Structure 1
Amino acid sequence: MIEMVILGTGNIAFHLFNAFSESENIRVIQVYNHRQESLKYFSNFTDTTTNIKNLKPAHFYLLALKDDVIPEIAEKLKSYVGIILHTSGAVGLNALDSTTNFGVFYPLQTFSKNKAVDFSKIPVCIEANSAENLEKIRSLASRITIDVREIDSEQRKALHVAAVFVNNFSNHLYSIGAEICAENKIDFSILKPLIAETASKIESLNPLEAQTGPALRNDQKTIETHLAFLSKKHKDIYSLLTQSIQDLHGKKL
């Protein structure tokens, strides 16, 4: 039985806790957070603590924490023999080098506590300070997902930036679309089939091939109509993205 301590109670910690808890061969024996109120959910299922000095012996210590505190927390775990893992896409492996056995366990997905995910299909990117530790982390990951990939720190940094574009930025554009709809008394749900089709197209097409719209067609009349309609805050974004599409496809605005 693999025993694990999770440090953190945010979205990633929440979903990893549930995924590990559902595995027959993994037991989350403790969850740590410095705020007692954040531990309420986890205390229904396992031991919890607000004192980092009271962590239990375990095979893995998973740091599902804000990026800027990872090195500081890792320093406090340097006496532990278990493998110290962080879950960040943007933090390098060397942030944990104050410890003896360490690695990265980065699930490439967007997480919200009120939205369930099927962890078995989520890519988990792994890295470690030794071949032996890498295999142990691979074994851990394979118990909750079928997609385990060895990705080094530089690749993971690039992957995280790419993920921000395809996830965070695209979701922000949904918010802008919803705002424009609301301002004009249109139900945003009318756009959901379009959003779904756009996402599904890249299952069979390269994103470059899937591009459509007035920017690609160099439809200046439509572009000018849109710019005249938009408020200043949205006009700048529209212009920047239009220019980017045209630059990528070799057209002029």
Structure 2
Amino acid sequence: MIKIAIIGSGNVAQHLISAFTESDRTEVVQVFSRSNFESDTIPVVHNLNELAAADLYIIAVSDDAIAEVSSQLPFENRLVAHTSGSVSIDALNAKNSKAVFYPLQTFSKNKATDFKVIPICIETESGSDFDLVQKTAKSISEKVFSISSEQRKSIHVSAVFVNNFVNHLYKIGNDICNEHGLPFEILQPLIRETSEKIMTLSPKDAQTGPAKRNDLQTINAHLDFLSDENQRNIYKILTQSIQNGKNL
């Protein structure tokens, strides 16, 4: 049984706690939280000096807090990992062995997630620590990848494009629907079909629409229709990007 201590109590931390608790190969021995987070089944401490012994300490806090929290850990020569997609392994304090345990997924409060299908990107500073981190990842996921800090940065940037930016475009579409008295659900079958299509086609082959066809009449009509300057600028930038890349 791999003993794990979770440092943090936000969305990522709580999803990890649930996943590790459900696994028969791991045990969450303790959770550290600066907030009023409590658990009926797992000991919770609010002082880092009260952290118990564990095989792996996972820091699941905001990116900006990783270095500070790792420097405040009251022990040395133990294995410590962070869960960030964009922060280098070197941000962890050198007094402990360093690792990264990055689940590549968007997490929302109170929405259950199937960890078995979530890619977990792992990295260790020492080869001797890799086996433990890999076993920990495989205890909750069927998709575990050994990824360097530089590769992880590229994955995180890519994820911002395909997740955060795409969701913002959903919001713009929702705003336009609301403005004209239409339910956003009318677009949901289209969204579903597009997301399913790229499971079998490359994004380039899946691309459709007026920019791909160079349908200038429709493009100009859309720009004339949009009264919001921000929406117009985004439309122009994305149209130009599609047109610049369609022949690559």
The normalised TM-score by structure 2 is 0.96
Q: Which residue of structure 2 aligns with residue 159 of structure 1?
A: 155
How do 1:63-212 and structure 2 match up within 5 A?
Answer: 63-77=59-73, 79-212=75-208
Q: Which residue of structure 2 aligns with residue 28 of structure 1?
A: 28
How do 1:23-62 and structure 2 match up within 5 A?
Answer: 23-35=23-35, 37=36, 39-40=37-38, 43-62=39-58
Q: Which residue of structure 2 aligns with residue 235 of structure 1?
A: 232
Measure the CA separation in 2 of the matches of 1:210 and 1:67. Answer: 34
- Offset, 1:200: 0.7
Q: Which residue of structure 2 aligns with residue 249 of structure 1?
A: 246
Measure the CA separation in 1 of the matches of 2:74 and 2:141. Answer: 29
Unaligned runs of 5+ in 1: none
Q: Which amino acid aligns with 1:138?
A: Q
What is the Cα-based RMSD across aligned positions, in Å?
1.3
**Number of equivalences:** 247
Q: Which amino acid aligns with 1:45?
A: T
Measure the CA separation in 2 of the matches of 1:110 and 1:202. Answer: 18
Measure the CA separation in 2 of the matches of 1:100 and 1:80. Answer: 5
Tell whether 2:217 aligns with 1:221.
Answer: yes
Measure the CA separation in 2 of the matches of 1:30 and 1:130. Answer: 25
Unaligned runs of 5+ in 2: none
Secondary structure at the counterpart of residue 90 of structure 1: coil
- Offset, 1:78: 6.3
Q: Contact (CA 8 Å) 2:48, 2:74: kept in 1 or not? A: no
Q: Which amino acid aligns with 1:113?
A: K
Q: Which amino acid aligns with 1:232?
A: E
Measure the CA separation in 1 of the matches of 2:56 and 2:76. Answer: 10
Measure the CA separation in 1 of the matches of 2:110 and 2:56. Answer: 26
Measure the CA separation in 1 of the matches of 2:203 and 2:25. Answer: 39
Q: Which amino acid aligns with 2:126?
A: S
Q: Which stretch has the larger CA shift, 98-107 or 143-152?
A: 98-107
Measure the CA separation in 2 of the matches of 1:204 and 1:129. Answer: 36
Measure the CA separation in 2 of the matches of 1:9 and 1:244. Answer: 40
- Offset, 1:97: 4.1
- Offset, 1:225: 0.7
The normalised TM-score by structure 1 is 0.94
Secondary structure at the counterpart of residue 44 of structure 2: strand
Cα deviation per residue 1:185-217 (whole Å; 9 max; x = unaligned)?
111111111001101111111101110000011
Q: Which amino acid aligns with 1:14?
A: Q
- Identical aligned pairs, as a percentage? 47
